[in-house]
Amino acid sequence: MILLNKLFSAEKSAKGRVNYPLLLLGAVIYGVSVGLVLSPNEIAPGGASGLAVMLSRFLPLGVGSLTMAINLPLLAVSLYVFGWRFLLGTVVAIAVSGLTADMCTLFTPPTNDIFLSAIAGGILLGAGCGIVFRSGGTTGGTDIAAKLIKRKKPYMAAGQIFMLADGVICVLSGFVFGSIDNALYSFFTLWVFSKTLDMILYGGDRGKLALIISPAADKILHRLLNEGNLGCTVIKARTGYTGEDRDLILCAVRKRRITDVRRIAAETDEKAFVLVGDVSEIIGEGFRLSDEYF
């Protein structure tokens, strides 16, 4: 965990550049998911790797090698749209994840339970892909499509894009493997993948919004900033009944920190007027990443 935090910190300090240590870590995790967990259990959760899992049933090639072959034409698109820097990071990610997936055939899968494999595979796949995305690269396949769609529709979460783009491949897997169970488990894996991906990229940006009105607003603000280490914004307001000028404190926090806001406000002024509401999305420093990663 300490190593991962250091890598994320290094990635944030090098905007616009590919962080190769972070990219290699994500690519290996991605490859392990495909080669050791998903492919042995015939789960094809979309993307180039999903197509490779299906094709490996008919062709004498490893799923990693097939993934690399499928990605070749997509690399030409990435070169044209995103440039050489993006292409280099993508090539490295595709090669490392593909080789890792092929090497995993030398090992025995940790489980043959398709349900457990769907969960574990989805988590590893989302974590690997998310780390690669945060490094400034992609793992190819629908990753490139996701980047293109984000340019046109920046309000869409990455996980939602993957769910839409990969759904057809999940349906196709049911026909290839001759079982609707495989298609359903592929969809389930894709859902787990999308949730994990959004968590890695956005850090679970749902939170709470507190609005505090009090004559002791200055004292509450001081405690929130210094004692609670919470970011706040002060808005000039006027009460409707008396017409008095008041400071309104706006504080956006993660759910687990809202109790600190309530406590500080109550301890400072027991009559403070505090409004707390749910926030479905918070974009900014400390919360959801900006779209620079796409």
Per-residue pLDDT tens over the stretch 251-277: 888 777 888 888 899 889 888 888 898
How distant, in Å, are the alpha carbons of 19, 183, 239 from that of 272? 47, 54, 13
Of 111, 189, 126, nearest in space to 158 by CA: 126
Q: How far apart are CA 223 and CA 157, in angstroms?
A: 35
Say which DSSP state 250 is in.
E
Average of per-residue pLDDT values in the chain: 80
- Give 203 or 219, the one with higher predicted confidence: 219
Lowest mean pLDDT among 94-98, 100-104, 176-180: 176-180
How distant, in Å, are the alpha carbons of 162, 238, 279 from that of 149? 10, 44, 25
User: In this structure, are residues 54 and 170 in contact, taking their beta carbons and an 8 Å threshold?
Assistant: no
Res 13: pLDDT: 39
The helix/strand/coil state of 282 is coil
Res 292: pLDDT: 47
Query: Tokens 């292409």 appear where?
Result: 87
pLDDT category at 286 given cuts 50, 70, 90 is low
User: In this structure, are residues 32 and 117 in contact, taking their beta carbons and an 8 Å threshold?
Assistant: no
Checking if the pLDDT of 16 tops 80, the result is no
Of 263, 256, 207, 219, nearest in space to 234 by CA: 219
Q: How far apart are CA 91 and CA 87, in angstroms?
A: 6
The helix/strand/coil state of 276 is strand
- DSSP per-residue codes, 196-249: HHHHHHH----EEEEEEE-TTHHHHHHHHHHTS----EEEEEE-TTT--EEEEE
Of 221, 283, 271, nearest in space to 250 by CA: 221
Q: How many residues appear in the chain?
A: 294
Res 9: pLDDT: 45
The helix/strand/coil state of 290 is coil
Residue range 40-80, pLDDT digits in tens: 998 988 888 888 889 888 888 888 889 888 888 777 776 77
In the structure encoding, which two tokens stand for residue 275, read together? 């409004």
Res 151: pLDDT: 65
- Give 121 or 282, the one with higher predicted confidence: 121
Q: How far apart are CA 132 and CA 148, in angstroms?
A: 16
Rg value, the chain, Cα: 23
pLDDT category at 31 given cuts 50, 70, 90 is very high
pLDDT category at 101 given cuts 50, 70, 90 is very high
Q: How far apart are CA 218 and CA 283, in angstroms?
A: 26
pLDDT category at 280 given cuts 50, 70, 90 is low
Q: Give me the sheet containing 273-279, strands edge to edge.
A: 233-238, 245-254, 207-213, 273-279
Q: How far apart are CA 10 and CA 87, in angstroms?
A: 21
pLDDT category at 176 given cuts 50, 70, 90 is confident
Checking if the pLDDT of 150 tops 70, the result is no
pTM, entire model? 0.68
User: In this structure, are residues 33 and 121 in contact, taking their beta carbons and an 8 Å threshold?
Assistant: yes
Residue range 215-227, pLDDT digits in tens: 888 899 888 888 8
Q: How far apart are CA 59 and CA 22, in angstroms?
A: 32
For 22-84, what is the HEC assignment? HHHHHHHHHHHHHHHHHHHHCCCCCHHHHHHHHHCCCCCCCHHHHHHHHHHHHHHHHHHHHCH
CATH classification for the domain delimited by 207-279, as one of 3.30.70.120, 3.40.50.740, 3.40.50.800, 1.20.120.80: 3.30.70.120
Res 143: pLDDT: 64
Domain regions of the chain by residue span: 2-202, 207-279
Res 188: pLDDT: 93
User: In this structure, are residues 134 and 201 in contact, taking their beta carbons and an 8 Å threshold?
Assistant: yes
